[in-house]
Amino acid sequence: MIDIMVDLEGNPKVPLYEKIYEYIRQDMMDGKILEGEKLPSTRLLAKNLSVSRSTVDLAYGQLMAEGYIQAQPYRGYFACDITELYRSGEKPDRNGAGAAKTEVCSENLIDFSPYGIDSESFPFRVWRKISRAVLIDDREELLYAKDGQGEQDLREAIASYLHQARGVNCESSDIIVGAGNEYLEILLTQILGAGKTVLMDNPGYPQAYHTFSNMGYQVVTGNFAQNLADDELLTDKSPDLVYLMPSHQFPLGNVLSLKQRIALLKWSYAKEGRYLIEDDHDSEYRYRGKPIPSMQSIDREGKVIYLGTFSKSIAPSLRVSYMVLPPHLTEQYRRDCGFYSVTVPKIQQEILCTFLKEGYFERHLNKMRGIYRCKRDFLLGELKKYDWAKCISGDQAGLHVLVHLQSELDEEELCSRLACAGVRAFGIYEYRLDRKAEKAFDMPVLLLGYGRPGETEMRRGLLILDKIIRNATLQ
């Protein structure tokens, strides 16, 4: 397998995925990457470049759409034969004329990623206005980081928002601001100490799974929906920590019942050193019923560690997450890890603080809830037109739905063929943390995100999926 080290500095207007795409494409044109050579997995390359996996997925999707690389099931990504391209020195037509794999325009890649957002609705004007206001005076203090937990004003704004929107009971002194959930999870392992066992839902959130594993924690998995209320999992797995998404589990979209929540809290109260890590994933976007209160709001003994992020509510590139610790763990953090510098630039913290305190964030969220609700309703309406869409779940909240398919192809083959046709989607197999465990479903299940694509793109993407399914049936 070849090593790929891309210089991601330079023009900030060029998306990161395009820089990765262009680097690999140029290396292939220069003969540095030869036909048949294996590229790093998307997960490994994302880790090496310190970018999100979705960024690498987009770059690889572009390369596949243009015929530079191909995905081989269960093996990975491999360089294609581009001899003719190399001889002519011409780049394939980005409008699809020179694409080896598809007639779909790769510039208009249809992205059903569950991590995507509606970037066209980002409040650029407001963000620019706040940024100018922050930088209008030559304040030397902007150049220095102060509190390792994050700026006091920002933590106060986050505490106010969490109390109002999620019922979280906390003081600003118990909040730690960090560049992404993964950083905060790494920090948490150092606060809690080594040798812990973490119980996670399966299928579940792979980023957290790999973060805890990389930090030396033993990660065990189970099916929370089936086996949590009767304590079967907690007894069999004997964890120290339980990582959960009680208000909207990713990727399934399940909601923990009150009975399950109480059972988990009682379990944590029964022994010192037990904690619940509540990742409040996608809590901002709920389309049916009232918002579901956080587990932290009903914790009376300081056993819930709360994680949240602005990645989907504002933008993934903002890279601002926050962790709310019980007061006694805050003391431990200050004693053992208080020397760490904050990982979010002060200027960015000030911009976000103003965005929160002056009501822009609340207005933006209300606007985006309406936009995403309309997108979700459109996607659900389109899916009803296809007889292969046997069941749809996880549609009450978040930015994606699960589509249970009747198809001759498995999830991996479906995703591979979609990628070759310029459509990006994920199968539930991507989120199986324990591949040896029994499959969650007896038919293929795709995650279709509606955050990024517009109505026209969603309709085209489903037409392509329909063609792939029907052609497979005829073969």
List all residues 6 or more positions away from 63 whose beta carbon is below 8 Å from its beta carbon: 21, 24, 25, 69
Q: Which two tokens stand for residue 439?
A: 């499959």
In tens digits, the chain (475 residues) has pLDDT values of: 777 888 887 777 778 888 898 899 888 887 788 888 899 999 899 888 888 888 888 888 888 877 788 888 778 888 887 765 544 344 444 333 333 333 343 444 799 999 999 999 999 999 999 999 998 877 777 877 778 999 999 999 999 999 999 999 999 999 999 999 999 999 999 999 999 999 999 999 999 999 999 999 999 998 887 666 556 778 888 899 999 999 999 999 998 888 889 999 999 999 999 999 999 988 889 887 777 889 999 999 999 999 999 999 999 889 999 999 999 999 999 999 999 999 999 999 999 999 999 999 999 999 999 999 999 999 999 999 999 999 999 999 999 999 999 999 999 999 989 988 899 999 999 899 987 777 778 899 999 999 999 999 999 999 999 999 998 877 6
- The CA distances from residue 315 to 90, 322, 448, 452, in Å, are 35, 15, 19, 12
Question: In b/e form, how buried is each residue of 355-391, taking b as 16+ CB within 10 angstroms?
Answer: bbeeebbeebbeebeeebeebbeebeebbeebebbee
List all residues 6 or more positions away from 72 whose beta carbon is below 8 Å from its beta carbon: 78
H helices of 107-216, in order, are 124-135, 152-166, 181-192, 206-214
H helices of 323-454, in order, are 327-336, 346-357, 360-383, 411-420
Tokens 């990504």 correspond to what residue?
77
What is the Cα–Cα distance from 219 to 239, expressed in whole angstroms? 9
Task: Return the closest-CA partner of residue 272 out of 252, 312, 299, 302.
Answer: 302
**Interstrand relation of 241-244 and 275-279 (parallel, antiparallel or unpaired):** parallel
pTM over 0.85, yes/no: no
Task: Return the closest-CA partner of residue 210 out of 74, 47, 427.
Answer: 47
Q: Is 194 exposed, middle or buried (0-12, 13-18, 19+ CB in 10 A)?
A: exposed
Task: For residue 319, give the DSSP letter.
Answer: -
Q: Is 72 exposed, middle or buried (0-12, 13-18, 19+ CB in 10 A)?
A: exposed
- Domains delineated in the chain: 16-93 (1.10.10.10), 124-359 (3.40.640.10), 363-474 (3.90.1150.10)
What is the Cα–Cα distance from 267 to 242, expressed in whole angstroms? 10
Would you give the end-to-end CA distance of the chain in angstroms?
Answer: 34
